[in-house]
């Protein structure tokens, strides 16, 4: 029993919140939301490498774009570096380096090989697929128009596959500046907004009707499903909260999609980032999370809302039969190294060296 005068969570939250933010509300949980299979796989790879490590485990760039995930792995011993030249040369005994889910360019792979680094590649297979398309089209002499955001790690990696044959385009307006002769193909970053990408593709096809490409299909299933789900709930609420880090492309796109549906939306790192003034008059709030944001952060957001009054929580599932999801990573897969060291077969909590077989990447997902 609470002691006399003690405040419960509602009372204590209410003490600091503006009156209009307090009261019963509906919470719509967009579904799907939160971690995708590619992110889960990348994080699990780092965890397993840490479990089996005999030396420092370096991770090039953020393994996925989420501050909490990175901090958790740092606490477990992972050392994040921006570039490989931040790793001591020669590397410490037993050191290994993990490439992030966003992929790397061939130049980075070559640098790792020159340095003799023990590399484990956590690139999402759906990013790897775009890289292989870039190589294939460059080999046939096509100019590749890569639709994406300048400076994003995934874009840097894909550009690096065929830098002399690839032109980055960020908007439909930029298509007017293109001067291309000969065959053209277009590829896209995997985490773009569906609608905006369609506009760029339409502008490109109007200018170059012979251009070929995958439509919006390079935008991965996880990005597509989460955007459609948030669009569906945004239309029914007065506020959308998107859990995700500010550098997470697919999280940023979720907030943009919600705003395009006419609903105010905020990208928040976690529950602590909610400003109670946003909640004034919001009798219904939708919550979603980018593909790199763990579900427990969503749970904390719901708890913060509950502290401001009773909530009715509803899950709004959006199914997209046209976008089949690849199967989730299995609990047993081979971590493939690009060094002379033995590969490692892991089942949860246990990794053992295995006989090297012809090099394949770990994913079992459909291409």
The C-alpha atoms of residue 308 and residue 240 are separated, in whole angstroms, by 17
Q: Say if residues 205 and 211 touch (Cβ distance below 8 Å).
A: yes
Q: Computed from CA positions of residues 308, 312, 313, 319, in that sequence, does the dihedral angle turn out positive or negative?
A: negative
Residue 22 in contact with ligand SF4, rule: CB under 6 A? no
Residue 147 in contact with ligand SF4, rule: CB under 6 A? no
* Residue whose CB is less far from ligand SF4, 21 or 59: 59
Q: Out of 30, 95, 98, 126, name the contact with ligand SF4 by CB under 6 A.
A: 126
Q: Tell me which residue of 71, 73, 74, 97 sits closest to 84, measured CA to CA.
A: 97
* Residue whose CB is less far from ligand SF4, 25 or 228: 228
Residue 242 in contact with ligand SF4, rule: CB under 6 A? no
Residue 30 in contact with ligand SF4, rule: CB under 6 A? no
* Residue whose CB is less far from ligand SF4, 134 or 211: 134
* Residue whose CB is less far from ligand SF4, 158 or 237: 158
ω into residue 262 within 30 of 0, thus cis? no
Residue 250 in contact with ligand SF4, rule: CB under 6 A? yes
Q: How many amino acids of this chain bind ligand SF4 (CB under 6 A)?
A: 15
| Known active-site residue 154 | yes
Q: Out of 36, 69, 184, 285, name the contact with ligand SF4 by CB under 6 A.
A: 36
Residues whose CB is less than 8 angstroms from the CB of residue 217 and which lie 6 or more positions away in sequence, other chains included: none
* Least Å from the CB of residue 90 to ligand SF4: 32
Straight-line distance from the first to the last Cα atom of the chain, in angstroms, rounded to the nearest whole number: 57
DSSP state of 142: P
DSSP state of 92: P
Q: Tell me which residue of 6, 2, 12 sits closest to 303, measured CA to CA.
A: 12
Q: Say if residues 271 and 304 touch (Cβ distance below 8 Å).
A: yes
* Residue whose CB is less far from ligand SF4, 43 or 285: 43
Candidates 47, 153, 154, 161; catalytic one: 154
Residue 130 in contact with ligand SF4, rule: CB under 6 A? no
* Least Å from the CB of residue 365 to ligand SF4: 9
Positions 173 through 232 that interact with ligand SF4 (CB under 6 A): 190-191, 220, 222-223
* Residue whose CB is less far from ligand SF4, 39 or 204: 39
Q: Say if residues 154 and 102 touch (Cβ distance below 8 Å).
A: yes
Residue 257 in contact with ligand SF4, rule: CB under 6 A? no
DSSP state of 263: -
Q: How far is the CA of 29 from the CAs of 19, 24, 181, 238, 316, in angstroms?
A: 24, 16, 48, 14, 6
Span from 37-45, 46-54, 92-100, 339-347 in contact with ligand SF4 (CB under 6 A): 37-45
Residues whose CB is less than 8 angstroms from the CB of residue 272 and which lie 6 or more positions away in sequence, other chains included: none
Q: Out of 14, 32, 34, 38, name the contact with ligand SF4 by CB under 6 A.
A: 38
The C-alpha atoms of residue 78 and residue 70 are separated, in whole angstroms, by 9
Footprint of ligand SF4 (CB under 6 A): 36-39, 101, 124, 126-127, 190-191, 220, 222-223, 250, 291
The residues annotated with a catalytic role in the active site are 154
């Amino acid at each position: 029993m609470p002691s006399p005068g003690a405040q419960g969570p509602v009372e204590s939250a209410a003490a600091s919140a503006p009156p209009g933010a307090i009261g019963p509300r509906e919470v719509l949980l967009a579904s799907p939301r939160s971690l995708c299979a590619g992110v889960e796989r990348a994080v699990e790879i780092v965890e397993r490498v840490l479990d089996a490590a005999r030396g420092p485990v370096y991770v090039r760039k953020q393994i996925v774009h989420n501050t909490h995930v990175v901090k958790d792995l740092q606490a477990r011993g992972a050392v994040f570096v921006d570039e490989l030249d931040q790793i001591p040369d020669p590397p410490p005994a037993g050191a290994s380096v993990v490439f992030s889910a966003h992929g790397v360019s061939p130049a980075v792979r070559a640098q790792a090989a020159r340095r003799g680094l023990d590399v484990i590649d956590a690139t999402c297979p759906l990013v790897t697929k775009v890289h292989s398309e870039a190589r294939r089209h460059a080999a046939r002499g096509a100019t590749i128009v890569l639709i994406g955001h300048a400076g994003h790690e995934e874009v840097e990696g894909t550009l690096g596959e065929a830098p002399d044959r690839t032109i980055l385009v960020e908007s439909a307006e930029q298509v007017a500046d293109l001067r291309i002769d000969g065959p053209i193909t277009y590829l896209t970053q995997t985490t773009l907004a569906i609608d905006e990408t369609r506009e760029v593709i339409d502008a490109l096809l109007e200018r170059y009707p012979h251009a070929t490409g995958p439509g919006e299909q390079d935008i991965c299933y996880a990005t597509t499903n989460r955007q459609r789900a948030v669009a569906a709930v945004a239309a029914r609420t007065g506020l959308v909260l998107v859990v995700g880090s500010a550098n997470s492309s697919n999280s940023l796109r979720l907030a943009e999609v919600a705003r395009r549906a006419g609903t105010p939306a905020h990208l928040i790192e976690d529950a602590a980032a909610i400003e109670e003034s946003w909640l004034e008059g919001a009798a219904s709030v939708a919550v979603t999370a980018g593909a790199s944001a763990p579900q427990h952060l969503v749970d904390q957001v719901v708890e913060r809302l509950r502290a401001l009054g009773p909530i009715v929580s509803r899950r709004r599932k959006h199914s997209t039969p046209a976008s089949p999801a690849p199967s989730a990573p299995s609990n047993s897969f081979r971590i493939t190294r690009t060094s002379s060291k033995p590969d490692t077969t892991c089942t949860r909590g246990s990794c053992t060296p295995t006989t090297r077989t012809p090099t394949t990447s770990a994913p079992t997902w459909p291409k």
